[in-house]
A = this chain, B = another copy of it.
Amino acid sequence: MGSMKVHQFTRGLIWEHEPFLTLGCKRLRPLAPKLPNTKTITTPFDLKSFIRPESGPRKPVSSDDTKKDPPSPQGQIETHPGGTRWNPTQEQIGILEMLYKGGMRTPNAQQIEQITVQLGKYGKIEGKNVFYWFQNHKARERQKQKRSSLASSHSPRTPTIHSVVTLETTRGEVVERDHEEDSPYKKKCRRWVFDCLEEQNMSSPCEQEEHRTLELFPLHPEGR
């Protein structure tokens, strides 16, 4: 089934003729027909360029059969090349924890960049690693705290003041949320961009080309 994806897609291309397709595909946006510039663009939007016939030796052909990922033995525990995950060094962890202790929770893009540069002195690292580290650390500290408080409720000794606030969701449920010095939902201050190339041109594109074929239409990845 995976193989028909492209086919199916091209089918959608009939769209090239319609001024806009609107009708055909219900966009149902009840309220707002943002009709302004109807005339312009009749542009077909050359999706053909998307297909990129050469986009790689995909495996979609043999489709789902053996997902098995394979070879790519590349025994380098080394950071990056192919697809190993970030393996923080002691210094990096130390610094990150220090920052966390200092109160940092959700660094914005600029902060992340700076941190990444600094930590880069101790080992390979990318911005996303820093981002994820804070996300995970925060979440796990929270869990841990919750667990411990739960445990303490069993043996009511040390009260363990851990401030949490309950809040009602729109659905009426009541959830509990740790109160942090850092408030969630700040202003928009982070910005990310997709850096797809970095991985692509990552040195030898050979060994790990197996790395999840970048299909254009992963209709039935059968993952998970």
Q: State the A residues within 8 Å of B (CB).
A: 5, 8-9, 12-13, 15-17, 19-23, 25-28, 30, 32, 34-39, 41, 43-47, 49-50, 52, 55, 77, 83, 89-91, 93-95, 97-99, 101-106, 108-116, 118, 121-122, 126-128, 131, 149, 152-153, 159-170, 174, 176, 179, 181-200, 211-212, 214, 216-224
Is B25 a contact partner of A165 (Cβ separation < 8 A)?
A: yes
Q: From A212, which residue of chain B is reached at the shortest CB distance?
A: B187
Is A43 a contact partner of B191 (Cβ separation < 8 A)?
A: no
Copy tally for this chain in the complex stands at 2
Is A19 a contact partner of B103 (Cβ separation < 8 A)?
A: no
Q: Bound state CA distance, A16 and B178, in angstroms? A: 11
Choice from B94, B214, B222 contacting A15 with Cβ under 8 Å: B94
Q: Known: A102-B12, A118-B45. Is A214-B189 also a contact (CB below 8 A)?
A: yes
Is B192 a contact partner of A13 (Cβ separation < 8 A)?
A: no
Choice from B46, B193, B216 contacting A127 with Cβ under 8 Å: B193
Contacts A110-B214, A187-B223 aside, 6 further interface pairs with beta carbons under 8 A come to A22-B164, A30-B165, A30-B179, A83-B188, A103-B219, A189-B211
Is B43 a contact partner of A121 (Cβ separation < 8 A)?
A: yes
Q: From A23, which residue of chain B is reached at the shortest CB distance?
A: B166
Choice from B44, B121, B193 contacting A195 with Cβ under 8 Å: B193
Is A194 a contact partner of B190 (Cβ separation < 8 A)?
A: yes
A-B contact pairs, 19 of them (CB 8 A): A12-B102, A20-B149, A21-B166, A22-B166, A25-B165, A27-B169, A38-B90, A41-B101, A41-B122, A102-B219, A109-B199, A111-B196, A111-B214, A128-B193, A182-B218, A185-B224, A190-B196, A191-B198, A193-B198
Choice from B28, B95, B111 contacting A45 with Cβ under 8 Å: B95
